Amino acid sequence: METLIFLFSFIILILSIIIHEVAHGSVAYSLGDSTAKNQGRLSLNPISHIDPIGTIFLPLMLSIIPGNSVIIGWAKPVPVNFNNIRDKRWGALKVSLAGPIANFTIALIFSLVIRFMPTIEPEMYAIFQLVVLYNLILAIFNLIPIPPLDGSHILFDLLPQGNYLENLKNFLFRYGFLILVFFIFISPGINWIYDLANTIFNTLSGQMFVSI
């Protein structure tokens, strides 16, 4: 049973990650940059998006950690040439927000299906709640302001420019990956994200989350 849950979780996670990246590239394309499209990154083909560490190694590692209740990961970032973006003021922010918004939208849609279809089959309910859970987790996780996550780009796009921010930015981009490793494997950060996603699930769907 645990193997089956992991398999479904892994498939849903990968599909949600792909949609996340395609959303970034699609918004960039709509704003004038065709880099992702030209490199075949607007495709839903998983092969175009697999990152060996974020898509394969990290989920597998998290799946074998005792007491860990959720897996997380990322795909290869879509390439964006911001020099081609027409909206010079807010274009980068729109591109950065596109991924988390896509995941939140998917979570909202499936939450409403659960809320307004109370007679849904138990097996389908379990799959739908996994879709909601992992899309909420991905959205929240990517909003954390640690490079290379979207939250870091959103943060620096919103804050006014200044020398002190450049120092902070340089520090985060230099040590961001180490901070991220600490957050995922050492701190209780992933559990906090899971709890927040669980709370949002309960609010949106009107039902208690069935523990997996």
What does the pLDDT look like over 151-177, one tens digit per residue?
999 998 888 776 667 888 888 889 999
Tell me what the mean pLDDT of segment 179-192 comes to.
90
Residue 21 annotated to the active site: yes
Q: Check residue 67 and give left, alpha or beta (phi > 0: left; psi -120 to 50: alpha).
A: left
Is the pLDDT at 51 greater than 70, yes or no?
yes
Catalytic residue selected from 21, 121, 123, 166 = 21
Nearest-5° Cα angle at 36, 135 to 176: 60
Range of the domain at 197: 2-205
Q: How far apart are CA 100 and CA 107, in angstroms?
A: 11
Tell me what the mean pLDDT of segment 36-44 comes to.
94
Q: What are phi and psi of 63, to 5 degrees?
A: -70, -20
State the pLDDT at residue 102: 98
With respect to residue 143, please indicate whether it lies within any of the assigned structural domains.
yes
- For residue 177, the SS3 value is helix
Instruction: State how many domains the chain has.
Output: 1
State the pLDDT at residue 63: 82
With respect to residue 211, please indicate whether it lies within any of the assigned structural domains.
no
With respect to residue 212, please indicate whether it lies within any of the assigned structural domains.
no
With respect to residue 110, please indicate whether it lies within any of the assigned structural domains.
yes
Is the pLDDT at 40 greater than 90, yes or no?
yes
Quote the mean pLDDT of the chain: 89
With respect to residue 41, please indicate whether it lies within any of the assigned structural domains.
yes
Q: Which percentage of the chain shows pLDDT scores above 90?
A: 60
State the pLDDT at residue 41: 94
Tell me what the mean pLDDT of segment 117-138 comes to.
89
With respect to residue 12, please indicate whether it lies within any of the assigned structural domains.
yes
State the pLDDT at residue 1: 56
State the pLDDT at residue 4: 77
With respect to residue 53, please indicate whether it lies within any of the assigned structural domains.
yes
Tell me what the mean pLDDT of segment 33-47 comes to.
94
